[in-house]
Amino acid sequence: MRPWRLGGRSDQRFVISSGSNSTATSTIWLEISYSVDEVQFFHTRNFLHLRSDEFLVTEMEELLEKFKDGEQDSYSFVYILPETAIRLVREKFQYYENDHEEKTSISYFLEIAIDVGAVMGGSAPGMRMINIKLNPIKLEQGIQFMRDLTREIADVYDGKHPNPAGLLQGSSDWHFVRQLNQKAYDRISEDYQERYFSNPSLVEAFDAWLSEMPAGGHILDAGCGHGQPVISRLLEKGFTVTGIDLSPKMLERARDNFPDVKFVNQMTSEITYESEFDGACSLSSLLYLDPIDLSHSIYRLYRALKPGGLLFLYAYEQHPTWRGVPYHVDLHQWMWVWTYSIQEAEQTLEEHGCFKVLKMQDVTTETEKQERIETWRKSVEAAKQLQLENQRKFTPEQLKNSIKISVHSSLAEADPSKPPQNLESRYIVVARRETG
């Protein structure tokens, strides 16, 4: 079990399908691996939902000591569904020796229950489970496993996250994500188009980044797709380009468009280049990876860039007020995608000393801002109408206890004439590869 990050910020709800179970900070991203002789047998990712926005490590360690001393018969992380449930259990069996003397036999087991159906958003909690049960295990092994896990969860709440530099490359690879997203982009490859450079602010920021590159330098386009319009612009400016993408169909288009450019079929988290590039860019690609793949990708880009090399990222933050399961429809396809605020992008780039963020800029156009404000106002009016309907249908106590209804309450109280600052936005980040 490897906890990675919180599911989001304290001001965000965490949404599963049509319901909201908790705040995003009571949700932890983690990966689960079962290996035999150091060879991965089973691997998945999931969420662990806790009872509150803070993790009381001292209280949990006291409970673990009580289990160790026999004062209680289980120690677990089993809270709100959908979730990953982790239990260390003491089982007692009565038997008779020599047909008359009653004895007690004690054994221990470790069980991890993974609610894949709810995390995929496709079923009610508890209806699609994967269970791993190690029975029996030694008490010392179970205690150490739970003690380590407790400390690692506490680290996540303290803002300390696993450093990919200390992990074997490929140890976090999840083939489900790769194959799902590859399939999605293959399907849309023929018709997929991007018009990044119709945005004047993005053009200005991109060209300013290019002006810091050495003439004729080597640039990596991570998540290049079919290459338009980014690779065209890089070649026009006289740079050497390498493109990577997980979609073979996208790369077929790219090779047709740019026969002299080198293209590699891989995810950013799979990069093996060492100090090869003067710069790297990723537009609408890197900052849509889930937190585990993002951490590995940032480290791989760090390794691929020369010391002092510059990274250019473009992304947009979707639904800033909530976070939810990454498996959903995007670009009319089922995909595994995530979203980050500009501040979260900065923190992730800098946290292990890989990059120093030099520039962050909101590049949302005025037209886009007005469209988002209008969409928000319509949502406010819809929430107000729903609130009126709920007040007629439910008692005050029912309204108070209904999670699903309460999700809309803050929106219903909003003033339509005062749009919030945290609407969806497009942004760029420029970061320098540190020399350490």
pLDDT tens for the chain, 436 residues long, are 999 999 999 888 888 765 666 789 988 999 999 988 888 899 999 988 887 777 888 889 999 999 999 999 999 987 666 578 999 999 998 888 877 788 889 999 999 999 888 778 767 777 888 999 999 999 999 999 999 999 999 999 999 999 999 998 888 999 999 999 999 999 999 999 999 999 999 999 999 999 999 999 999 999 999 999 999 999 999 999 999 999 999 999 999 999 999 999 999 999 999 999 999 999 999 999 999 999 999 999 999 999 999 999 999 998 898 898 899 888 899 999 999 999 999 999 999 999 999 999 999 999 999 999 998 899 888 888 887 887 788 777 766 655 444 444 567 788 888 888 889 999 999 999 998 7
SS3 248: helix
**The domain boundary residue, chosen from 113, 138, 162:** 162
pLDDT at 304: 98
**Position 169 in a domain:** no
**CATH number for the domain including 227?**
3.40.50.150
**Position 387 in a domain:** no
Same domain, 43 and 120: yes
Dist CA 111 CA 291 (whole Å): 25
pLDDT at 403: 45
For residue 341 the two structure tokens come to: 């605020």
Dist CA 286 CA 290 (whole Å): 9
SS3 430: strand
**Position 373 in a domain:** no
**Position 151 in a domain:** yes
Cis amide leading into 82 (omega within 30): yes
pLDDT at 405: 45
Same domain, 121 and 42: yes
Number of structural domains (the chain) is 2
SS3 150: helix
Tell me the CA distances in angstroms from 260 to 257, 263, 374, one per residue in order. Answer: 9, 9, 46
Dist CA 325 CA 118 (whole Å): 9
**Position 412 in a domain:** no
**Position 419 in a domain:** no
pLDDT at 407: 45
Dist CA 298 CA 285 (whole Å): 12
- Which residues fall within 8 angstroms of residue 194, CB to CB, at 6 or more apart? 225, 228, 229, 283, 284
Same domain, 33 and 57: yes
> What is the secondary structure of 259-305 as a DSSP string?
TTSEEEE--GGG----S-EEEEEEESSGGGS-HHHHHHHHHHHHHHE
Same domain, 106 and 201: no
For residue 106, what are the β-bridge partners? Answer: 92
Same domain, 152 and 292: no
Same domain, 96 and 220: no
Same domain, 156 and 197: no
Same domain, 80 and 207: no
- Which residues fall within 8 angstroms of residue 378, CB to CB, at 6 or more apart? none
Same domain, 141 and 286: no
**Position 198 in a domain:** yes
**Position 290 in a domain:** yes
Dist CA 151 CA 74 (whole Å): 18
**The domain boundary residue, chosen from 137, 162, 187:** 162
Same domain, 235 and 115: no
Domain range for 192 is 175-365+424-433
pLDDT at 414: 84
Dist CA 292 CA 298 (whole Å): 10
Same domain, 156 and 22: yes
Compute how many other C-beta atoms are within 10 angstroms of the C-beta atom of residue 106. 12
Buried b (16+ CB within 10 A) or exposed e, 290-320: bbbbbbbbbbbbbbbbbeebbbbbbbbbeeb
Same domain, 210 and 358: yes
Cis amide leading into 248 (omega within 30): no
CA quadruple 176, 117, 136, 55: dihedral, nearest 10: 90
Dist CA 70 CA 55 (whole Å): 24
**The domain boundary residue, chosen from 118, 139, 162:** 162
pLDDT at 406: 47
